[in-house]
Structure 1
């Protein structure tokens, strides 16, 4: 059996009614409240509060505030008036039952309308999303078509440039062949005129004529004109990767080339200072013996320098690391001594 709550307080203005209901520590949720234009119900087991209001209210704008086990209602009147009481008095059970049923039917109709409105709104959202997707696909298609058109124009321009270069090369070859033929023809004429000059030597000419007119003229015509200066332009075909850009290895190849260049540069820097050494100083064995002598004389720092240079020349000789570890031990560089010993 539910416990009917009779302890409540209310006050009113011409436009609204304020009802305060205390549930004595019971937690209330919005789902426990049911309100229509003339019916108000709060069901929080084991408590039950139910009233039929004195006059109709605007249930859409009315509010309920839940806090600290109490509910505070703000009910806005449909008509501005002063209520004599909060609850409709002198109502029999049949009338109350009918009001409850009407309230439930109105709530169901309202829920159905809200559901239909949500469905319509959801359908509109789907339609809007579909239209937006179609617009995006259309924009993407146009972008791809523009890229294809740009690529086609680029290829056409490159093909036109290649054709012009080929025609220019063919023209130069024709000019070269014509020059060769002209030179051969001039050589043939010179040979013929030389033979004629030999025949003319046996003929006595008048004393007034000096020199050979034919020989001078042919000598002038036998030499071709100087070749005109020009500039040859060479266009290299750009490198094109056959794979798609997302599958390309361009970045990896550039990174590999950069690392290789850095490694070569570092190697050149490391060994550039060794060029000033003498031939015997570039021998690891000679440096090892030099370090041994310095170690025996107590000059441990100089011995370390000798072993360092020998290791740079050949890092595959274990004795060098062992001797350097002994020097570091004498110099109290224990970490370096351990490191060299571990390498050995």
Structure 2
């Protein structure tokens, strides 16, 4: 049987009630407090304080504080009136107290459920706000990354266009230099021809004056052979009938051939180093071992000897791709494609490799449209290549995602 606490104290005003229940030396963490509209309970075994209030109080405003060896209730009356007594007249009726106790427990249970529901709703709202904030941050990050990619793509495109312009300027200068050298050669030949004609005229004039007779007239010409010298030209047709562009192309090829011959005749080179096929095999061996720079040197040496072999350019492009020299890879693949013309079944595999390597270099530069164009061209050559088709499809998704952003 619990010991009923009766030495409690209380005070009231028209609107509030203060009740102090002594804990009798019991620790605060062992106190169980129940507070409802008309029922109070403080249980701290073996002691028990239980009170049926004289009137109803507002549970949403009241409070119970434990400290200084007592529990202090601060309650707000629903109706501003003096009670005169704390306990209800029916407080001594056990049945009524049992009913009020059960009602208090149900009310307390309901209040806890409402509180838990409210806390759960508040937690969901906080989680929703956190998710929305996270989505905003992710969207900002995606936008930032997209802007960086777009900036880098534009820069790469500008660099590529700048490189193309520089190559065109260099080609134009080389062309002008060759034309100037050809004009100087023609002028020199013409000058030598004019000098020779002047010398011959002087020689003929001197002979005539020496052979004049006494009557002052020139003697009859003697029989002989006249030799006519023409200005030498590289091409058999006269300048006025020549085709300048074709002649310049022919001269360029001849100059490349002369350079190859001069290189192959270098006394410092070993016999196998003069063989382009040996150099290509050497480059392939370097590539297999992972020494890409040595492979580039071998392929470049072979190209100087044989500049018309497309496999040399394609293999060197693969090395540049490994070393992330993407612009050089694109240049070598383009040269290989030029040399692989016309397109025949015998060079289909080589054309497919060159297109895939050039497309990969474009993708590394984030020029996905140009890369997809090369991949699709390679798929037309090898339509059964599943890996190539998957890469092309992935590239289309990237292009579509970039366009949507």
Deviations 1:204-244 (A, max 9, x none): 79xxxxxxxxxxxxxxxxxxxxxxxxxxxxxxxxxxx96xx
> Does the aligned pair in 2 maintain the 1:11–1:18 contact within 8 Å?
yes
> Does the aligned pair in 1 maintain the 2:31–2:44 contact within 8 Å?
no
> Does the aligned pair in 2 maintain the 1:40–1:51 contact within 8 Å?
yes
Aligned match of 1:252: none
Runs of at least 5 residues in structure 1 that lack an aligned partner in the other structure: 206-240, 243-344
Runs of at least 5 residues in structure 2 that lack an aligned partner in the other structure: 209-322, 325-405
> Does the aligned pair in 2 maintain the 1:25–1:68 contact within 8 Å?
no
Change beyond 3 A, Cα 1:90–1:114: closer
Counterpart secondary structure, 2:196:
helix
Q: What is the CA–CA distance in structure 2 between the aligned matches of 1:72 and 1:36, rounded to whole Å?
A: 15
Question: What pairs with 1:1-344 in structure 2 (closer than 5 Å)?
Answer: 1-29=1-29, 32-91=32-91, 92-202=93-203, 203=205
> Does the aligned pair in 1 maintain the 2:58–2:77 contact within 8 Å?
yes
> Does the aligned pair in 1 maintain the 2:22–2:71 contact within 8 Å?
yes
Q: What is the CA–CA distance in structure 1 between the aligned matches of 2:8 and 2:34, rounded to whole Å?
A: 17
1:31: Cα distance to partner?
6.1
Counterpart secondary structure, 1:10:
strand
Q: RMSD across aligned C-alpha pairs, in angstroms?
A: 2.2
Deviations 1:40-97 (A, max 9, x none): 0001111110100111001111111211211111111111000120111244211111
1:128: Cα distance to partner?
2.3
Q: How many residues align?
A: 209
1:3: Cα distance to partner?
1.2
Q: What is the CA–CA distance in structure 2 between the aligned matches of 1:90 and 1:160, rounded to whole Å?
A: 99
> Does the aligned pair in 2 maintain the 1:5–1:47 contact within 8 Å?
yes
Q: What is the CA–CA distance in structure 2 between the aligned matches of 1:30 and 1:124, rounded to whole Å?
A: 35
Q: Which moved more, 1:74-83 or 1:139-148?
A: 139-148
> Does the aligned pair in 1 maintain the 2:62–2:73 contact within 8 Å?
yes
* Structure with a larger share of its residues in helix: 2
Q: What is the CA–CA distance in structure 2 between the aligned matches of 1:84 and 1:13, rounded to whole Å?
A: 10
Counterpart secondary structure, 1:201:
helix
Q: What is the CA–CA distance in structure 2 between the aligned matches of 1:90 and 1:105, rounded to whole Å?
A: 20
Q: What is the TM-score normalised by the length of structure 2?
A: 0.49
> Does the aligned pair in 1 maintain the 2:10–2:17 contact within 8 Å?
yes
Q: What is the CA–CA distance in structure 2 between the aligned matches of 1:31 and 1:49, rounded to whole Å?
A: 11
> Does the aligned pair in 1 maintain the 2:90–2:96 contact within 8 Å?
no
Counterpart secondary structure, 1:118:
helix
